[in-house]
Structure 1
Amino acid sequence: MLKLKSKETKVKKKKQKAEKGSTTIVTIDRVNEQTFGFAGNEVFHYERIKKGAKNEFYITYLPYKDILTTTVEVSRSTPDDEVIDAITIKTYEDLSLNPDDDFKITYLESDMSDNDNRIYNVFVVNNSILRSDLSYIADNTKYIDYVAKAPFLMYSLYKRNILPSNTVDCFIYFQEEDAFLVIYQNGKYLDSRSIRYNLKFIWDKFVELSGDRIDINDFYSMLSKDGLISENAIDSDNLIQVFDEIFLYISDILTSVTKVNKISLDNVFFSTDIGNIKGSEEFITERLGVEPKPFDFNIAINQKDFEDLTQLDILMMLTAKEYLINKDDEYNYSAFLRPPPLAQRPVGKLIGVGVAALIAILAYPAYQYGHGFYNQKLTEKKEIEYTQKDKEKKRIESALANLQDQINKKREEIAAEQKILKERSDLLTAMYNKKVEYPMKSKAIFDMTNMINKQSGELVAIHNIDENLTFEVRTETEKKMTELLKAISNTKGYNVDTKLILLDENNQTIAYESNVSVEMKK
C-alpha cells in the first residue's frame, strides 16, 4: 500500500455531521485504502463503521488496470436493436474474451463516427472483480452507491463547469501499481491508454540506476517533497533519466492517439497519488510540446489540511455530486446498490399481487365477461389482419410470377437477337475475307496472262472452280513450260497445281500443254 510520511503536525480526525436533509459523500479508494467524507464544503477522514446510513452516499472506482478497452466499428445499416449484439460479438473477438467468464460490457459512441460506420469505445470489466474485490467494502458500508471507471472520473470536471468544454485535454495519472492517460474532447471522453510507468516501476528503475535499495515509501516521500531536484546530484541525474524515458514513451503514445483521432492537445494535466512531482513540468513541455496545467482541483475549504487526499478522491466527490443531481446509472458499475423502494422490491410486488388478486376475486364475473369480450375483439382484429396480409401475400406472389414471365421473355428475345447478331457477324467476316484476304480473280488473270506472254506461251482456256482458277496453257518447248510454271510458283499470292505436261502430237505444230490450277492464298 502506498503511504507518505506524515507531517509533524497531524490533522486530527474528526467526524463531520452533515446538515439536516443533506447527504454526506463518502469516497473509498481501495488502492490506497483511504476513506474520506465530504459534507458542507469540508473534507474529513471517515471511519467505515456504519452500515448503509441513509444520508451517506458511498462511491469508489475501478482502477484502469482492471478495465479492458477496445474500439469497435458497426455499420450504420445494422438495425438499432442489433447494435448491442454486434458490439458484444466484436468485443469478444477483439479482446479474445473467454465466453465462460462473466463480463460487464459498456460502450460509448465516438465523435469519430462517419456516414458509413458508427465507432464505439467499449469498456469491459470482469464481474468477478465487481463482486469479490469490492465485497469487503460492502461488508463495512452494506451498500456501494456508485462505482466509477477511473478514466471517467474526469467527466465531472466538465459537468460541474470546472473546466471549459471546448478544448482537447489530456490527463496523465500515476498510481503505485497503475498509470494511465485519458483524453477528453469538448467535454466528452475520446480515448485512453494504459501506461507501464507506475510509481512502483519508477522506484524499480531508480534503484536499478542508483544501486541503492532505498525503501519504497522513503522514495515516495523524497519524490513528493523534493521532486526531481534532490540534494544528491546523482539521485537527481537518475530521476531525470527515468522521467526523460517516461515522457518519451508518453510522447509516442500521444503522437499515435492524436494522429488516429486527428486532434491536437490544448492542455495536459499531470498528477500522482503522491501529489505533483516538481520538475516534471519541463519534461511535459519539452517532450509533449504543451505547457502543463496544474492537476490540482479544490472543492473543500480545508482541503490543504489533508496531504493524503488525492485528486482521484476529489474527482470521486465531484462525480458523486453530479450523480445526486442527475441519477444517471449508465456507467455505474456497482453490484451492491441500495434496494429500490418497497413498490419495486419483490416483497412489495408480492403485496401488490395479493391486493390485485383480492380485487380480481371480488370482480371475477366482470373480469370473465371483460376478458371474453377482449379475446373476441382480439380474435376479430387478428382475422382482419390475417385477411389483409394474405391478400398482400397473394398480390406479391402474382407480381413475382409476372416478373419471372417478363424475365423469361426477355431471355428468349436476347437469345434470338444474339443468333441474328452471330449470323450477321459471320456474313461480315466472310465478306471481309472475300474482299481483303483474297486477291481479285481479275488481277489473277491479268498476272497469269503477263507471265504466259513472257514465255511466248498461249492461253487456251480459263476455268473457274470454287476458290481456284484453272488455266489451259500451251508453249512451244518443254523448257518454256517449266520456266512458266516456276515463275508462277515464285509469284506471291499463288499456288500452282499441275499434274503433268503433255506434248500435243495431234496438232501439226508441236507444242506442250498443261492445265495450271491457281489457288488464291490468304
Structure 2
Amino acid sequence: MAVTEDRRFSSEIVSIDPLSLVSYTYSKNEIKLNKLEKSDKNAFYTSYLQTRDVISATIDVSRNIPDSDLKDAIEIKVYDELALDSAIEYSISYIETESKDSKNRSFNVFIIDATLIYTKLTPIKEKTRYIDYVTSAPFLIKALYRKNFIEADGTHCFVYFQKTDAFLAIYKNGEYVYSKSLHYSLKEINEKFCELIGERIDEEDFYKLLTNEGLRATNSQYQQSLMQLFGEIFLYINDVLVFTKRSYNIDFIDKIYLGSEIGTFSGIEEYGKSYLGLESYEFNFSIAINSKEWYIDQIHILMMLSAQLYIENPDDNLNFSIYKRPPPLKYRASGKFLGIMAASVIISLAYPAYQFAYHTFLSLIIVKQTSEYNELYKQTSDIRQQLSLLKTEKEKVDGLVKNETTKFEFRKKLLSEIYNKKISYPMKALMLLEIFQLSNQNGCKVEAIEFKNQQLDFFVRNKNEKKITEFIKDLTALKKYKVNTEKIIQDDKIKLYTSKISIGLSNE
C-alpha cells in the first residue's frame, strides 16, 4: 500500500488518540507503538474527533443559489434551523448528497465548536507542532472503500464501541449517509453492568471479560447480566436503524460491522442476527505485516488509511485540523512574497520609482480587501442576529393571530345564532296565527302543538270528521306549507274525531 511521494512528509504516518495521546507509527508496512516526543518531524500526523463532538444534520438549499454564495447560505440556514448560539464560533463543513428534489440541493452539514477543536488538539500540537489531518471518526470509514477492504456495493452499517464514546455510521455504495453517537460507550457499559450484578468491577478487568469470554461468560450471573445489557443495547441500535432507514429512504441494510476499541466481543454476532436481522462481520482490518502481533484500536488503522488517501489526493473539505502543516515555501504566501521581494530588488535597481509605486498599490489592495472582509463578517453576524430576532417576533405574532382567530370565530358563531333567532321566531309566530285562524273557521279545536325537527305537529279535535278534512284542505290550499296527516281517528267515549297534522314550510 504505497503512498504517493510528497516531499513535505517522510514515509512515516503517525496516528494519535486525542484523549490518551497513545500513538502508532506506520512505516514500511509495519505498525509500532510511538512516542510523540521522539517522532520524525516530517512524519504525517493524523488524529480524529469523537462522534459526540460533532453536530450533524441534513439541510436543503435552493438550486437558484449560485456556488459563490452557497457557503453563506448554508451557514445562515444552519444557524436558523439548528438554533445555534451566534455568540459561539463554529467550524462548519458540508458535503452535497444525492437529491431527487428539482428545486433544492441537499447537504450533509457538520458543525463543531471551534473552542472544542482547540481544546482537543492543542495537547497534540504541543508535542508535534503540526497535525496534518483531523476528521470525525465516522468519516474515517470511507478509507475502507477507497482502499478496497470493503466492496462499495450495497448499504453497510458500522457500530464501534470506544471507551468514552460509541458511534453508528451508515454508508451506501461507499458514500457517507448518516452517523450518530450512541449512548453506550465502554465505560457506560461497565457502569450498567456493575449496577446489574451489584458489585464494582475494575474497568480493565471488565474489558478482559468482554474480549476473553464475551457474552458466553462462564460465570452464570455475569452471563445473564451481559445478555440483558446487550439486549438493551441492540434494541437501542435497532431503533436508530429504523429511524435512519425511514429518514433516508433506505430499503435494506446488507451488512453490519461490529467492533470496539478493546477488541471483538465473543458472541456479539448472535445479537446482530437476533435483534437486527443482519449478518454480522468483525470490524477488524489488517494493513501491516505485523498486525497480528497485538490488537490495535481500529480507529488507528482507519486514520492510517485515511492519511494515505490524503497524501495521494489532498482534500481539506472534512479536515478539521487547526494546526495544518504549511505547504512548501514556494506555495506559501510568505514564499511568494519573498520571491516578489527578490524580483523587486532586482527590478528596483533599474526602476526604483516603478517599484515604490507598485508596492504602494499592493498595500492599498491589502487594506481594501481587509476592510471588505471585516465589513462582510460584521454584516453576516448582524444578519444572523436579525434572523434570530425575527424568528422570536414571528412566534409572538403567530400567538396573537391564533388568539384573535379564536375570538373572531366565537363572535361569528354568536352573531349567526342571534340572526337565526330573529328570523326564526317571528316566522313561527306568523305560522301559528294563520293556522289558528283556519282552525277557528272550521270549528276545529287544537289540543296540543309539538315543535320537532323544523316541523309543527298539531293535534286537532272536532265532532264532525268533515270539519277536520276541510281544515286540512284549507291548509293545503295555502301552498305555503308541507302538510302531512295520519288517519282521522274516532273516540267513541267522548264522541269526537281526532287527527295529528304535521306542518312544515313549503319549498314553493
Q: Is the alpha carbon distance of 1:126 and 1:72 closer, same or farther for their aligned partners in structure 2, counting shifts above 3 Å?
A: same
Q: 2:101 corresponds to which residue?
A: 114
Q: Which aligned pairs between 1:110-259 and structure 2 lie closer than 5 A? A: 110-259=97-246
Q: 2:413 corresponds to which residue?
A: none
Q: 2:21 corresponds to which residue?
A: 33
- Superposed CA RMSD: 2.5
Which of 255, 259, 268 is the equivalent residue of 1:280? 268
Percent identity, please: 39
Separation in 1, partners of 2:127, 2:355: 50
Q: Is the alpha carbon distance of 1:203 and 1:320 closer, same or farther for their aligned partners in structure 2, counting shifts above 3 Å?
A: same
CA contact (8 A) 1:107 1:123 kept: yes
Q: Which aligned pairs between 1:18-417 and structure 2 lie closer than 5 A? A: 23-50=11-38, 53-54=41-42, 56-263=43-250, 264-307=252-295, 309-345=296-332, 347-358=334-345, 359=347, 362-363=350-351
CA contact (8 A) 2:10 2:44 kept: no
Aligned-partner residue type, residue 170 of structure 1: C
Aligned-partner residue type, residue 110 of structure 1: T
Q: Is the alpha carbon distance of 1:178 and 1:368 closer, same or farther for their aligned partners in structure 2, counting shifts above 3 Å?
A: closer
Aligned-partner residue type, residue 240 of structure 2: I
Q: Is the alpha carbon distance of 1:113 and 1:275 closer, same or farther for their aligned partners in structure 2, counting shifts above 3 Å?
A: farther
Residue 368 of structure 1 and its aligned partner are, at CA, apart by 11
Deviations 1:97-151 (A, max 9, x none): 2212221100011124521211111101111122232111111111111112111
CA contact (8 A) 1:284 1:292 kept: yes
Separation in 2, partners of 1:368, 1:196: 64
TM-score, scaled relative to structure 1:
0.64
Gap runs ≥5 in structure 2: 1-8, 359-476, 480-507
CA contact (8 A) 1:112 1:261 kept: no
CA contact (8 A) 2:155 2:255 kept: yes
Separation in 1, partners of 2:53, 2:44: 23
CA contact (8 A) 1:113 1:119 kept: no
CA contact (8 A) 2:97 2:107 kept: yes
CA contact (8 A) 1:104 1:126 kept: yes
Separation in 2, partners of 1:112, 1:177: 35
Residue 346 of structure 1 and its aligned partner are, at CA, apart by 5.1
Q: Which aligned pairs between 1:7-18 and structure 2 lie closer than 5 A? A: none
Residue 225 of structure 1 and its aligned partner are, at CA, apart by 1.1
Residue 369 of structure 1 and its aligned partner are, at CA, apart by 13
Q: Is the alpha carbon distance of 1:96 and 1:365 closer, same or farther for their aligned partners in structure 2, counting shifts above 3 Å?
A: closer
Separation in 1, partners of 2:10, 2:325: 18
Deviations 1:190-213 (A, max 9, x none): 111121111111111111111011
Q: 1:445 corresponds to which residue?
A: none
Deviations 1:159-214 (A, max 9, x none): 11111111111100111121110001111001111211111111111111110111
CA contact (8 A) 1:52 1:143 kept: no
Gap runs ≥5 in structure 1: 1-20, 371-489, 493-521
Deviations 1:226-257 (A, max 9, x none): 10111110110000000001101110110110
Separation in 1, partners of 2:265, 2:99: 34
Residue 219 of structure 1 and its aligned partner are, at CA, apart by 0.9
Separation in 1, partners of 2:300, 2:328: 30
SS in 2 for 1:299: coil
CA contact (8 A) 1:109 1:121 kept: yes
Aligned-partner residue type, residue 37 of structure 1: T
Larger radius of gyration: 1
Q: 2:5 corresponds to which residue?
A: none
CA contact (8 A) 1:157 1:163 kept: yes
SS in 1 for 2:153: coil
Once the two structures are overlaid, the 10-residue window that deviates more, 239-248 or 110-119, is: 110-119
